Structure 1
Amino acid sequence: MSRRIALVTMGLITALLILAVVPLGLSLTANERASFRFAVESSARQLSAQAEEYLADHDPPTAMNQALAEASEGGDCAVVLRASGQVVATTACASGPPARASVLAGEVRSGAEQTAFAQQGDWLLAAVPVGDDGHFAGVAVLARSADPVNDRVGEVWAWLSVTGLAVLALGALLARRLARWVARPLTVLSSAASRLGDGDLDARAPTGEGPDEVRELSAVFNRMAERTASLIGAHREWVADVSHQLRTPLTALRLRVDLLADDAEQETAAEMAELQVEMARLASLVDGLLAVARAEGELPRPEAVRADQVVAERVAAWEPVAADRGVALDAMHTAAQPTLAHIGPGDLDQMLDNLIANALDSVPEGGHVRVSATGGRAAVVVRVVDDGPGMSEQARATAFRRFGRSGTGGSGLGLAIVNRLASVNGGRVTLEHTPGGGLTVRIELPAQR
């Protein structure tokens, strides 16, 4: 964003400079050349006035010769011609630049009382008629080099260019500062919003930088973050407090039931066993609530994790449970290289524990559960595939909600924990139908680059 602001500002400054400097340079150049042309014409008219005393008034040529000498000393070339075209007097360089004097004289004779100009290389020639009252006695031609005016024009354009470049450099500096002043608070605000979205509830944006609108936006964001942190914190504390408060009486109650079951008569032993099962289920539910609270409260620090190795470890850990239930549990890894996922340490272990436990609960004896990890350049995919009864489309739509019924008889918190851990690590979880019957849980995680 800052680059776009700087480029737009620089474009505006450049356009303004072009619109200001170029017309000014052209105007100054035109003024210089007009002044030079007027000066040449004035000098030619002075020479014509001196030549008129000799050609028209028949006075001695002293004044005319003096005017020619002054023109020669000033670097000009001049020549005086009679009406017939005969050269009366000339400066030392008459054979050089004023070579077109006769041509200009003819133009003046044909136009009478009219000044003629011509350009010969770097020289400007001006021809003025000699005479008055309609009496044409001759022509005075003066040539002056345009080098000095060209030098002045070059200096004008040089100064304008230097000034324009200096203003452009200053504009670039100001544009950069302006862009940073506007964009930096927005960048910081975007970073704070990203951290808040990733679970960092302490993320806040500075409110003392940038334009008033950006400061107001930062203040609104901070109020929203405070409210969000307050609500989530209160929710976490409530779940944790309830879970901790329930665990103590549950533990004491289980101990008493166990003691009563040992001393119970045969008639009540079956009832006591069912009571122990329900208490174990309630204890599992409390543990699930604590796991959800921990999953929602943790901010992962992603690192490179061998997904294929984690799959092999968790399958080996759950194999005795699967064998006891008569279920085949296999780990499959077909990639030639290690599959590296960019996630928090221990998160994939926890996700697989929940998924394998759910799969073993849903698959009947003689069933099969397969766990695999495949890698790519952008993502690592972990699949837990079973051939159990599967889930209906309606059940899959609500399976990630807390206490959602998955049909396995569990607490309804396992898939919610898996979905939470995947999302905070930048991944996602999807539930698919297994060909031939069953459920496939697909976890897509970012790959380690």
Structure 2
Amino acid sequence: MTRRIALSVLALITAILVLAVVPLGLIMTQREQASFRDEAASRTRSIASAAEEYLSDRKADTAARSLVEEARRRGECATVYDRAGHAVLSTACSDVAGDDSAGLVSSVLARPGTRVRQDDQWLTTAVPIGDTSDAAGVAVLSRSADPLHDRILAMWGWLTLIGVGGLGAAVLMSVLLARWVGRPLRVLDAAAQRLGEGALDARAPVEAGPQEVRRLAATFNTMAGRTEALVHGHRAVVADVSHQLRTPLAALRLRLDLLAEDAEGDTAAELADAQGEIARLSRLVDGLLAVARAENAVPRPVPVRVDRVVAERVAAWEPVAQAGRVRIAAECRPGLTGFLGEGDLEQMLDNLIANSLDAVQEGGRVLITGRRQGAMVELRVIDNGPGMGQAARDSAFRRFGNPEAGGTGLGLAIVHRLVTANGGTAELRDSPGGGLTVGLSLPASRPRRDRTGESGPGGTATSDA
């Protein structure tokens, strides 16, 4: 935006300068040329008037000769012709008018009137002497055009200097204006990005920039404050409820275990079912705590060897897979590296592998692939289980959003929050040949702005399938 503002102001000032300076220069050039011609015609008429006394009144040629000599001292060429076209008075450069001087004189004598001829080097003016209806001769004055060219060149030089100075001032003004407008917007953008990444305390300064930008920053701060209050309140409720439930659940489980030791028959079966429900409720509470921690996490990205982490998690889950007679494998390119919060990738993989192992039946397989794709690391967790319907996939990343989940329904919600907090994306799609593929796109390079805050602690792995 700063560049666009600067270029727009600069283009506007440049257009104004061009539209003002160029026509002004052309007008002044025309005036200089007209003044130069008028001055030459005036001097030629003065010579013609003095020569009239000599040719028509038969007086001495002193005045005319004096004016011709004065023209010579100025570097001009003056010649006085009589009625027959013979030169009676002239300077040393009387032939400057060229070979056509005789034609010019003849033209004036035939049709009396002022004649002007100009080329790049000389301006020649021919004026009839005496009565315009019956001229007694012709006065011809040739002036070098070099002084005119010098004045025009100097004038254009000054105009160019003024234009360049104005353009420099425009550049400075446009840069200052762009920074004045753009800097608080960049700060506001950075604050909005930090807020989007989970830094709920992000605020924008309201004392810089135009009034509209200051109002926008104030509105943003109000929105951020309300969002922070709502999110913190929501997180506090989930965390407090989960923590408060843990103690009575532990006590209830202990009492059921004691009762189950002496129970027999139908009573023992009922107590076993109750113990299963208590275990399920405990996993649900742990899942809620994990979601709350994931939502509260603001990762500080560090380099993570994705291929090594995948290999470690596959090795850790291998005994579980063997117990369920499921094959688990990994195909990641060596050296594959991403930028994530420390421990986040392990937690994501644990949840996804647990879901897949719960979903596939005996003889099934779970495959984890990883590769670099542009600026992202693409991870895929592929299984050949029963898959997931379109409606379930659309809501699977929400808490308890998967109606087909056999576990707590929180695992994919945890994965989604960790992925998005790290600047990535997650998607669900059908596996080729049947099953479910979970795709993760994770940053492969350090973000432009370092995220603030510390990564939250990892939650207990929970199952969706």
TM-score by length of 2: 0.89
Structure 2 CA distance for partners of 1:91 and 1:443, relative to 1, 3 Å: closer
Return 79-88 or 439-448, whichever deviates more: 439-448
Return 257-266 or 351-360, whichever deviates more: 257-266
| 1:127 counterpart letter in structure 2 | A
Kindly report the root-mean-square deviation, in angstroms, between the aligned alpha carbons of the 2 structures: 2.3
- Matching residue of 1:330: 328
SS of the counterpart of 2:135? coil
| 2:348 counterpart letter in structure 1 | M
CA distance in 1, matches of 2:130, 2:429: 112
SS of the counterpart of 1:16? helix
Using the TM superposition, give the Cα deviation of residue 154 of structure 1 relative to its aligned residue in structure 2, in angstroms: 0.9
Structure 1 unaligned regions, length at least 5: none
Give CA deviations for 1:181-224 in whole Å, capped at 9, x if unaligned: 22222222222222222222122222222222222222222222
Task: State whether structure 2 residue 33 is matched by structure 1 residue 36.
Answer: no
CA distance in 2, matches of 1:15, 1:382: 54
Give CA deviations for 1:124-149 in whole Å, capped at 9, x if unaligned: 22111112374421111122222212
Structure 2 CA distance for partners of 1:101 and 1:260, relative to 1, 3 Å: same
Structure 2 CA distance for partners of 1:41 and 1:448, relative to 1, 3 Å: closer
Task: State whether structure 2 residue 391 is matched by structure 1 residue 394.
Answer: yes
Q: How does 1:48-63 map to 2 (within 5 A)?
A: 48-63=48-63
CA distance in 1, matches of 2:423, 2:274: 42
- Matching residue of 2:401: 404
Using the TM superposition, give the Cα deviation of residue 70 of structure 1 relative to its aligned residue in structure 2, in angstroms: 1.9
- Matching residue of 1:76: 76
Q: What percent of counterpart residues are identical?
A: 54
Structure 2 unaligned regions, length at least 5: 447-465
Structure 2 CA distance for partners of 1:263 and 1:163, relative to 1, 3 Å: same
Give CA deviations for 1:393-432 in whole Å, capped at 9, x if unaligned: 3333322221234535211111111121122223333333
- Matching residue of 1:86: 86
CA distance in 2, matches of 1:74, 1:442: 92
**Which one has more relative contact order, counting CA pairs under 8 Å at least 6 apart?**
2
Using the TM superposition, give the Cα deviation of residue 371 of structure 1 relative to its aligned residue in structure 2, in angstroms: 3.1
Using the TM superposition, give the Cα deviation of residue 119 of structure 1 relative to its aligned residue in structure 2, in angstroms: 2.6
Return 203-212 or 94-103, whichever deviates more: 94-103
Using the TM superposition, give the Cα deviation of residue 163 of structure 1 relative to its aligned residue in structure 2, in angstroms: 0.8
SS of the counterpart of 1:407? coil
Native 8 Å contact 1:422 1:445 kept in 2: yes
Structure 2 CA distance for partners of 1:374 and 1:115, relative to 1, 3 Å: same
SS of the counterpart of 1:333? strand
CA distance in 2, matches of 1:342, 1:360: 27
Task: State whether structure 2 residue 280 is matched by structure 1 residue 301.
Answer: no
Structure 2 CA distance for partners of 1:134 and 1:447, relative to 1, 3 Å: closer
Task: State whether structure 2 residue 315 is matched by structure 1 residue 316.
Answer: yes
Task: State whether structure 2 residue 184 is matched by structure 1 residue 188.
Answer: no
CA distance in 1, matches of 2:224, 2:254: 45
| 1:72 counterpart letter in structure 2 | R
Using the TM superposition, give the Cα deviation of residue 259 of structure 1 relative to its aligned residue in structure 2, in angstroms: 3.1
| Aligned residue-pair number | 445
CA distance in 2, matches of 1:98, 1:78: 13
Structure 2 CA distance for partners of 1:430 and 1:44, relative to 1, 3 Å: closer
SS of the counterpart of 1:202? coil
Structure 2 CA distance for partners of 1:183 and 1:234, relative to 1, 3 Å: same
Structure 2 CA distance for partners of 1:329 and 1:311, relative to 1, 3 Å: farther
TM-score by length of 1: 0.92
CA distance in 1, matches of 2:359, 2:63: 128
Return 261-270 or 405-414, whichever deviates more: 261-270
Task: State whether structure 2 residue 153 is matched by structure 1 residue 154.
Answer: yes
Native 8 Å contact 1:81 1:88 kept in 2: yes
CA distance in 2, matches of 1:385, 1:62: 117
| 2:163 counterpart letter in structure 1 | G
